Amino acid sequence: LRVLHRTCGRHALLPGVLMVSVDYGQTSTESPRRGGYADVWKAEYRGQDVAVKAIRTYSNRELRKVFCKEVVMWRFLQHPNVLPLKGVMMSQNRFAMVLEWMKNGDINDFIEAHPDVNRLELLAGAAGGLIYLHNNGMVHGDIKGANILIDDTGHPRLADFGLLTIISDPANLLSSSSNSQGGTVRWMGPELIAPQQFGCKKSRPTKSSDCYALGMVIYETVSGKLPFHKDSDYTISLKVVKGERPLRGANFTNYLWSMLELCWTSQPKARPSIEDVLQRLEIASNSWEPPSPGSDEEMEVDSDDWDSSDGSCPIQTGTRGAAEVDSDDRDSSKKDRRTPEEAPSSIGFYKTPPPPPSLSMTVYTLLVRLIL
């Protein structure tokens, strides 16, 4: 298989055994579903519904080499959490992949239709598929909710792995058009956006960048919101490089959120293995409870409320949105604005508000006592 992989990549050729033909039937006149970089048609292959996915953006020989190399590896992968590749065909003078048709859509579609499903179990399955890819020498490179499909039995299937390198250098995605799910930059680690700033020679997906992206998918799936859902791709790229991360919502336990912070650390080598992430997901899934509608309000606080002298948390007033947030969950309300290296080692709460900068501590204490 390794020899076949190298040969196909070197000569931009595909073995005949991979080439298939499909029957479009009545769907042939339908407009394709247009994604960020591919057109998708529904067709039939050997009596089963399939998706024909034709990539729009490879026109030179080098990119065809990458395509041939990646699909050869994909065709021979077998794992319950990896979407099978049926074969390859020519569609409108383009190579197109023939994939199983996933009528349940992606993980977010499935959760919308089944709100009580254990989201962490689905994510654990996706992590298992990612481990399988890594163990076979492959990097996914484009992990996001839209690329985790759900099969007829309700199991997650990773799709579109390796295709990010076919489309373009990941850094070029910052200026490309976004698809309906939001730009890929929302799930990209800082080393893919500004590689030299983080000790990398070039922007290339790695196992560590897959870990970062998986953390973003966990955030996306548990919160029900895209990472940085209020920001444009350009703004996101600036924030990520500076070390800013999504704000914590009420649906996240301390255990789960601390794992995400590890996945999101700016230094790729400091991120956990996917095996470690899977173990935490499996443990957390045992106590999963479906969130109530509107319960995941972000616990955002104004930066002026922070005390710069000791890094303590601001005083909390009232509730956050529709959900009560217990005191154990409050200590992370703002620390996701910092990189893990900057996060304080211990977090405390003020029993009284912090003194204004213009007042000395003694005068401020006397005023508080008089008021109370």
Q: Indicate if 116 and 237 belong to the same structural domain.
A: yes
Q: Indicate if 238 and 347 belong to the same structural domain.
A: no
CATH code for position 167: 1.10.510.10
Q: Indicate if 148 and 176 belong to the same structural domain.
A: yes
d(C-alpha 210, C-alpha 188), whole Å = 9
Q: Indicate if 227 and 263 belong to the same structural domain.
A: yes
Residue 156 in tokens: 């997650």
Whether 198 is covered by a domain: the verdict is yes
d(C-alpha 191, C-alpha 196), whole Å = 8
CATH code for position 6: 3.30.200.20
Give me the pLDDT at residue 362, please: 43
DSSP 364: H
Q: Which residue in this structure is represented by tokens 């349940």?
A: 104
pLDDT digits over 31-83, tens only?
556 655 678 889 999 988 999 988 775 556 767 777 777 788 888 899 999 99
Taking the chain (372 residues) in runs of 10, the rounded mean pLDDT of each run is 64 74 65 66 90 73 75 87 91 82 96 97 98 92 95 95 53 41 79 92 92 98 95 95 95 96 97 98 94 64 34 30 33 35 30 38 41 40
Give me the pLDDT at residue 297, please: 60
Give me the pLDDT at residue 57, please: 59
Whether 325 is covered by a domain: the verdict is no
Whether 207 is covered by a domain: the verdict is yes
Question: Are the CB atoms for 154 and 104 separated by under 8 Å?
Answer: yes
Q: Indicate if 59 and 86 belong to the same structural domain.
A: yes
Contacts of 360 (CB under 8 A, 6+ apart): none
d(C-alpha 359, C-alpha 355), whole Å = 7
What range defines the domain where residue 76 resides? 2-100
pLDDT digits over 287-303, tens only?
999 887 766 666 543 33
Q: Indicate if 287 and 305 belong to the same structural domain.
A: no
Q: Which residue in this structure is represented by tokens 């509107």?
A: 294
d(C-alpha 333, C-alpha 335), whole Å = 6
Mean pLDDT for the chain? 75
Tally of structural domains, the chain: 3
Whether 167 is covered by a domain: the verdict is yes
Whether 321 is covered by a domain: the verdict is no
Q: Indicate if 6 and 24 belong to the same structural domain.
A: yes
d(C-alpha 305, C-alpha 298), whole Å = 16
Whether 326 is covered by a domain: the verdict is no
d(C-alpha 209, C-alpha 102), whole Å = 26
Whether 277 is covered by a domain: the verdict is yes
Q: Indicate if 121 and 270 belong to the same structural domain.
A: yes
Contacts of 47 (CB under 8 A, 6+ apart): none
Whether 335 is covered by a domain: the verdict is yes
